[in-house]
Structure 1
Amino acid sequence: MPLTSRPLRKLGFLTIGLFDEHDPGRGHESTLEIIELGERLGFDSAWLRHRHLQYGISSPVAVMAAASQRTRRIELGTAVIPLGWENPLRLAEDLATVDVLSGGRINPGVSAGPPAHYDRVKDALYPDTADAEVFGYERVRRLLDLVRGAPASDFDGTEGFEVFSGRVQPHSPGLGSRLWYGGGSLESARWAGEHGMNFLTSSVVKAPAGQEAGHDFAAIQASQIRAFRERHPDGAAARVSQGLVVIPTDSATPAQRARYEAYAAARLPRTATPQGPARLLFAPDLVGSSQEIAERLRAHAGYREVDEVAFALPFTFAHEDYVQILTDIAGRLGPALGWRPAG
């Protein structure tokens, strides 16, 4: 296959929104400022990671609501909300409300599966039903149906002086087509396609069982993207966004470059073999000049399948580092990939 790809159509970024336990307001304000900067730089989208019981964004829907009032154009997404922590009906109401407030700009990404460290949190999360909860794809399907307008109640009408709706209110037309599934397995890719969702693929995939060496992350990711589109009603036009960790150094100071390279080097060993019982395979972080990164992306089988990205910002950097990275992505890397900033 030639080492070329279609021009990059949509450029986004993903942030974890870290904060200091003793000054959480400053960290959340930094996240909002980064999103505002992203809009000024012409990014098409800003995405929020989701972290429960950690020092990152625990309520991305609330942060999206705040960001929607400080921006006018940039799309706002989640990558991803783990539905094991959520009631799909309540989440559908929150998402629809924020979508209305934003003028139809949100792109909720979700995932299935049990909450992380479930045995440690289940008594607080589901004190009466912990052993009965089911965390599979059905939970995602319920959210999809509710957002798309399926009945949530068998009563639709007036009771006394109050008017009731049988479906989630507010109903936001179009939101149902902007729901994304964050998956790293062939099974998830196929399920998302069959249910007409968009597909978020990141810097983590599940390695096939029965092979302990010689795994090619890019090839695995590309095969999942193709499987998703084979099952999707829109076929080749179905939306996929890739989210590798990308750190351009064009305008970085020597100290920043050294810190970025050390960060990537510390994380490199986990890319060699599948990690843990889930056999997770991680992509190397891409650090270097925009031209170097563009060349590596154009040679990446997964990247060659997409025309949308949401490059992941590293977890632990400072605000000024994110400003430099985003400025280089928008001003140098994006154009090198054929992208044009939004007006």
Structure 2
Amino acid sequence: MPLPSQPLRRLGFLTIGLFDEADPRRGHESTLDVIRLGEDLGLDSAWVRHRHLQFGISSPVAVLAAASQRTSRIELGTAVTPLGWENPVRLAEDLATVDVLSGGRLNPGVSVGPPIHYEQVKHALYPDTADVEDFGHRRVRRLLDALAGEPVSDFEGAEGIEVFSRRVQPHSPGLRDRAWYGGGSLASARWAGENRMNFMVSNVVKGEGRPEGFADIQRSHVEAFRAAHPGAGRVSQGLVVIPTDSATAEQRAKYEGYAAGRLPRTSSPQGPNALWFAPDLVGPAEGIAERLYADAAFREVDEAVFALPFTFGPEDYAQLLTDIATKLGPALGWEPNRAG
């Protein structure tokens, strides 16, 4: 999107779905309400994070199954499911089931690597195979093949009154093409492109010795993905964006304090992996739009997924989504989707 005259084509949002351990249903219902609000506002997609052994959504597929029955149009995605916790064939069955229930609206996003705190959890997760599990890209390819309908069994046919298939059932045509890879490095971007996935550009990226700063590094990932993709895969940019147009004075103060507390980490690479973090964009929609058009990576995409801050409440999310859909989106040339 090199010029403001070229409109943003798709606009979505991402939520972590926090809940109180003493009342988990309320938090999960609140997440479903937020997704329904996103559809009512005409947003194109709703994405949920994946959190294990935390007070966020541990089973996005189950949550999106529920969301599929409360919505009719909005795309539903995971951003992202860490495959280190998953059996790819079993996950493919769940994803295909939700895709069928949603009418083909599911966008499964995944990532690789060992589970966080693996040494502390491996005895429960993989008691007999912890030291030989493969947490690399082969795990993603197994999932993609299963989603595409490649055989996962050598047996097919009737056995008594039961009938068996060689491939995952249900099979949902098109689901494999809607699979996303979430990555924050050049290698991830290239791999996603080479394997015909869509690519989520992370709001945390590896510096890899590059001094340019976050936006230019993120842009390089978009360019690497497109150069490697044999077709025209989708790519979306992830940022934390907090419009304040309809916010109360109390909300504005909270938002500004939240962003200020996170700002120091954006000025230089952080930690042993030299990670760059995106600064949070807070303020009126018109001002945020100007900052986005000045962003080197934003100028390379035509769809964006704006992340809702982790620790805000339902009333804050309602205000933010409303301003994103009615103020910021139009300022970026985007139009709400009311079809369906």
TM-score bracket relative to the smaller structure: over 0.9
Change (3 A) 1:241 1:5: farther
- Greater CA drift, 36-45 or 4-13: 4-13
Q: Which of 212, 215, 224 is the aligned partner of 1:227? A: 224
1 CA distance for matches of 2:246 and 2:222? 33
Shift of 1:277: 2.4
Candidates 298, 302, 308, aligned match of 2:303:
308
One-letter identity of the residue aligned with 1:29:
E
Letter in 1 for 2:274: R
**CA apart distance, 1:98:** 0.3
Give the corresponding residue for 1:13: 13
Q: TM-score, normalised by structure 1?
A: 0.97
Task: Summarize the alignment of residues 320-335 of structure 1 with structure 2, pairs less than 5 Å apart.
Answer: 320-335=315-330
Please list, as runs of the form range in 1=range in 2, the aligned pairs for 1:1-343 lying within 5 A after superposition: 4=4, 6-209=6-209, 214-234=211-231, 237-343=232-338
Q: Deviations over 1:92-128 (max 9, x none)?
A: 0000000000000000000011111111111111111
Tell me by how many angstroms 1:202 deviates: 2.4
Equivalent position SS for 1:181 = strand
2:4 and 2:332 in contact (8 A); partners too: no
Give, in whole Å, the separation in 1 of the partners of 2:54 and 2:111.
18
Contact (CA 8 Å) 1:68, 1:102: kept in 2 or not? yes
SS in structure 2 of the partner of residue 275 of structure 1: coil
- Name the amino acid aligned to 1:36: R
* Distance in 2 of aligned mates of 1:169 and 1:331: 40
SS at match of 1:309: strand
> Is the 8 Å Cα contact of residues 6 and 304 (structure 1) preserved in structure 2?
no
Cα distance change, pair 140–41 in 1 and its aligned pair in 2 (3 A): same
The separation in 2 between residues aligned to 1:110 and 1:103, in whole angstroms, is: 21
Any unmatched runs of 5+ in structure 2?
Answer: none
The amino acid across from 1:136 in the alignment is G
Q: Which amino acid aligns with 2:138?
A: E
Aligned-partner residue type, residue 40 of structure 2: R
Letter in 2 for 1:231: A
Moved over 6 A (4+): none
Instruction: Tell me which amino acid in the other structure corresponds to 1:174.
Output: G
- Partners of 1:11 and 1:328 lie apart in 2 by 13
Contact 2:245–2:285 under 8 Å retained in 1:
yes
Work out whether residues 213 and 276 of structure 2, in 8 Å CA contact, stay in contact via their aligned partners in 1: no
Q: Deviations over 1:141-180 (max 9, x none)?
A: 1100110011100111111221100000000001011000
Would you say the 8 A contact 2:50–2:81 is kept in 1? yes
Identity %: 74
After superposition, what is the alpha-carbon deviation per residue over 1:237-265, rounded to whole angstroms, capped at 9, x for unaligned?
32101110000000000110000000001
AA partner of residue 328 (structure 2): L
CA distance in 2, matches of 1:92, 1:259: 41
Alpha carbons 2:184, 2:205 under 8 Å: kept:
yes
Cα distance in 1 between the residues matched to 2:246 and 2:26 = 25
> Residues of 2 paired with 1:277 and 1:106: CA distance?
35
From the superposition, tell whether residues 101 and 3 of structure 1 become closer, same or farther in structure 2 (CA, over 3 Å).
closer
Seen in structure 2, the aligned counterparts of structure 1 residues 220 and 67 have a Cα distance that, compared at 3 Å, is: same
TM-score between both structures, scaled by the size of structure 2:
0.97
Alpha-carbon distance in structure 2 between the residues aligned to 1:127 and 1:2: 51
| Cα deviation 1:63-89 (Å, max 9, x = unaligned) | 000000000000100000000000000
Distance 1:94 1:5, change over 3 A: farther
Q: Distance in 2 between matches of 1:315 and 1:180?
A: 22
1:157 and 1:299 mapped to 2: Cα distance? 59
